[in-house]
Structure 1
Amino acid sequence: MASKPDIAMASIVRVRFIFLSCFLAFFGRRRRRCQKSASAGPLFQPDISSAARCSGCRTLPARTDRPKRGAMSEDGFSLSPPRERLSLPNVTLCAVSSSNVAATIEAMEASLAQASFGEAILFTDADTRAIRAVMHPDLRVVRIDRIGSSAAYSQFVLTQMVDHVRTSHCLIVQWDGHVIDGGRWQQEFLDYDYIGARWPQFDDGRDVGNGGFSLRSRRLMEACRAPEFAPHHPEDLAICRTNRGLLEGMGLRFAPAALADRFSAERAGDPATSFGYHGVFLMPRVLGADRFWRIYRTLDERSSLWRDFSDIVKALRSGPSPALRSLRMAANRVIDFAFSHTR
């Protein structure tokens, strides 16, 4: 085990490296950023598909006020609440969290701004009244034991969440993902028992998908409690990789990759065209740098950010005070690193 002086020296080295990265990101290419901003194109007018109708959902026409595909502005390309929300009475919106609860509530309310659901449930041990004095009227809080680890999260999702779901499907969101545009909903999503963002690292046909923003049927959630199901962490890999053959043998269906890209973006897909997204590295692009920063300041658990630290720092250039914000993130990263190695 490394001594405390060794840990301190490693932390100093990391501080210097991170600060250097920040300065290179913001000042080394500043002129190019200004040129790109000046040449940004106008908003585009996407095709509006005809509204699909079914007993379980109502699809609204696609919005026309989103930015150009792949573009990012200071305000991101999250849309303001539509005049008429998408109606999903057969879907329960769910989130499970004991950390970053304020950001989780924000993600649920962003989804509720775009769609109404059969129910919207936040599973948490936190005192939500101390976090948010007034929450969305459709959001219900269910008290649970503290979720102390990501493995505990997987265990709850695989074995306990289904007891609270009374609709045919459940839409799971986390603090770093939510519905982007209710107008991009497709009736076909409900034809499958599981759909989430595609995993580009797999090329064997079992690449769907990410659980952080995922739609799954109650049938599938019940099947995850079958004696022959092999549960493990992370829960999305347990469902979509380890036990997929078992679940398909039970007649459960996983969405194809092309449909998954229209449903959600993460490491694959494009949030400029998908119904929702998952991943903190996409948040500045979807929400805009300033709104992302407001959410970032509420976080009490930041470990998922550091893998994509460089990309997030670059994305902050589109908002105010980019250098100061990146330096604060760098300091937080060093603090988190030092704390994790001294526990």
Structure 2
Amino acid sequence: MSARVVDELAGRTVSVRVPATSANLGPGFDTLGLALSLYDELTVTVLDRPGVTVEVHGVGEGEVPTDESNLVAHSIAHVFEHYGIALPGLHLVAHNVIPHGRGLGSSGAAIVSGVMAAKGLLEGVVELDSEQLLARATALEGHPDNVAPALFGGLTIAWVTPSGPQHKKLMVHRGVSPLVFVPEHTMSTALARSLQPESVPHADAIFNVSRSALLVAALVQSPELLLAATEDRLHQNYRASAMPETFRLVTLLREEGYAAVVSGAGPSILVLGSDPVQRLSAARLIEQRSDTPWQALMLAVDFKGATVLTHPVQTPPSL
């Protein structure tokens, strides 16, 4: 069966588009995630010879692997292997915009790119629904808080059950205006996680439960509550020593009334403005008060999530 399937895939090309994400959003540690209007794009073509080659343009060019060990290629192979289908020869062309190592879900986007590419390539052979897509992406990423919004868009609540990861997508209030400050330096997610304690005080756990519930309400219907709703005691303070400038600026922004949090594992900063004017003033504040360069990205909430387009079959190239 596998060989027959590989023959059926000859000449297929798919195009994938995946948004950046910001996880945690303050109190929603490993649970809440938001899709943002910053996109990596990928084209995958089935070749008439074995092997995987990767072209990378933009972010990561000259840095990330260009063979089967590339995270996108590995994610495609993971899906094929999971369904018992031999991987055909592939050529990947990645146009990357999402910064790497900055807390904007670049690894999650790479994984989702591969999973979605596999979905498109296997169309008519294996039909992957939303639950299966999330399961495959989470198996690769280890947790669903970034891959869920990357897959489905909007605000997502993600959780894990004995039967696998689950998610709920919510539409964000139109007044919510995301602003991301991206520094030149990176942060290791593994290092950030290593700074977390094994347990936290009971009072802090209760504090974050209340703020997480409030944050959902603030993002969906009451943006005026975002400052209070983004308070956190579970993870950000423990990571402060690894990102001193990030935390200095988060503190400054919050003291001035802006709903600022560490984006994902950092070191980028996410400001959830209650209107577009508020984020403009936040950008001016950081420009005046930061000690290091920060790129201000005025973004929107992405509501579509990842997309895949299957192109008409052509004679497969032999690159």
Same fold by TM (over 0.5)? no
More strand by share: 2
- Give me the TM-score of the superposition, normalised by structure 2: 0.30
- Give me the TM-score of the superposition, normalised by structure 1: 0.29
